[in-house]
Amino acid sequence: MDVTVLLLFGVASVASLFMAWVVGAGSSGATPFAPAVGANAISTMRAAFVVGVFSFVGAVTQGANVSKAVGSGLVEGVTLPATGVILVLLIGAGLMAIGIYTGYPIATAFTVTGAVIGVGLALGGAPAWAKYQQIGLVWVATPFVGGGIAYAIASVLPRADVPERYSVAALAALVGAVVTNLEFPRLGANGEPGTVADTAARSLPIDASLAVIGATAFVALATAAAVHWDVTRDKAGGLRRVLLALGSLVAFSAGGSQVGLAVGPLLPLADQIDLVSTFAVLVGGGFGMLVGSWTGAPRMIKSISQDYSSLGPRRSIATLVPSFLIAQTAVLLGVPVSFNEVVVSGIVGSGAAVGGRDVVDARKILVTIGAWIGSLLLAFALAYALTVALF
């Protein structure tokens, strides 16, 4: 095999690892547990440790869909060369680093997506319009869906006629049902990917569809019963434990979604040299995110949690439930999604339910949206121009 190709793959791998560190140290490492830290449910350092572990597990078990979409689904008719992959990752990581330094909310999903498309089109590839429509729909719908769900939950949780032992238990049942139907490697028949519900269905002597429904209902009811008992016994402690569980699930979902932004461009190269499996690439990306969470996220968590200090456990729960649901939808569809966008939408929705328009800073929201759109366009323009100049 050509030594130059291996050398370039090694350089691209280092760039991918750096990108994974930036992702872990940035929004995906800080956001999942920032509400819990802001609500004094967990310390900053412990939150960083937990989010790193769950992000790693999520990256390894759920990262393939988004990684493949970023690596080969954004541009048709062309495969990015090693130098193009390095350029994409350096642009994405560089813009993220600038965002962290300046305080502007640069979104990783937007920068990497824009960079991949810019490089691919400059190399003569064709736009993948169907994928763009899918991505655009998710990006545009996220603020409305996430904010709407958060608004609905935050409107119900404080009501005296709907005690938390019932309302939070119902939310836990919903989350439990979703977790039961998440796809994991080797849980399906013949070692194929499958869900916990599918695994249970194969062991029951009844119709498969009924068995899946039964397994889902059982887990949902068992989760609801456990949360109902815990919140009834100790309301403050029970809400804190629910919040920590949701933070862990969001961290897990962040790993499955965000690792693709770091290792997705690397997958086609790995396939070409046929020496590194997709699983190994995901493990490397997950490790980079783990290190980023442990070394870089504590500062970000501490900073972001100050913005969440007024949320409290109920608003934090209202924020994290839609964050988990949207993140898992994006993983299922193989769509790169910004965790900044997901969580900010939940915060705005829950805030509007509690305090109306007075607690929603319209100027800050507009600046954030402008930074998201600007990061996408800037990454695309830089990638396209540099590719034309270098190739």
Q: pLDDT tens across 257-281, in order?
A: 999 999 998 888 888 777 788 889 9
Question: Which residue, among 22, 199, 195, 201, has the nearest Cα to 98 in the 3D structure?
Answer: 22
Strand-pair partners of 126: 76
Core vs surface per residue 24-59: b (16+ CB within 10 A) or e: bbbbbbbbbbbbbbbbebbebeebbbbbbbbbbbbb
Inform me whether the pLDDT recorded for 173 exceeds 80. yes
Q: What pLDDT score was predicted for residue 309?
A: 54
Q: Do residues 51 and 247 make contact, with C-beta atoms less than 8 angstroms apart?
A: yes
Residue with tokens 């995906």: 28
Q: Considering just the CA atoms, what is the radius of gyration of the chain in Å?
A: 21
Per mean pLDDT, which of 48-52, 164-168, 221-225, 235-239 is the most reliable?
221-225
* 302 vs 142 pLDDT, higher one: 142
Rounded Cα–Cα distance for residues 335 and 85 (Å): 19
| 32-68 residue pLDDT tens | 787 778 777 788 888 889 999 999 999 999 999 999 9
pLDDT score, position 305 = 64
Q: How many CA atoms lie within 13 A of 126 on its CB side?
A: 5
Amino acid at 240: R
- For 126-156, the pLDDT digits (tens) are 999 999 999 999 999 998 999 999 999 988 8
Contacts of 155 (CB under 8 A, 6+ apart): 353
Flag whether pLDDT at 307 surpasses 70: no
Q: Which of 32, 339, 328 is nearest to 183 (CA)?
A: 328
pLDDT greater at residue 64 or residue 208: 64
- Three-state SS for 77? coil
Q: Is the pLDDT of residue 114 over 60?
A: yes
Distance, in Å, from the CA atom of 346 to the CA atom of 323, rounded to the nearest integer, reads 7
Listed in sequence order, the residues at least 6 apart from 306 whose beta carbon sits closer than 8 Å to its beta carbon are 38
For the chain, the distance separating the N- and C-terminal CA atoms, rounded to the nearest angstrom, is 23
Which residue ranges make up each domain of the chain?
Answer: 3-390
Can you name the residues that pair with 183 across neighbouring β-strands? 195
Which residues 6+ apart lie within 8 Å of 72 measured at CB? 79, 267, 268
The structure's pTM equals 0.90
Cβ neighbours around 274 below 10 Å, total:
8
Residue 330 has pLDDT above 70, yes or no: yes
Specify the DSSP class assigned to residue 183: E
In the structure, what pLDDT confidence band is assigned to residue 361 with cuts at 50, 70 and 90?
low
The secondary structure of 210-234 as a DSSP string is HHHHHHHHHHHHHHHHHHHHHHHH-
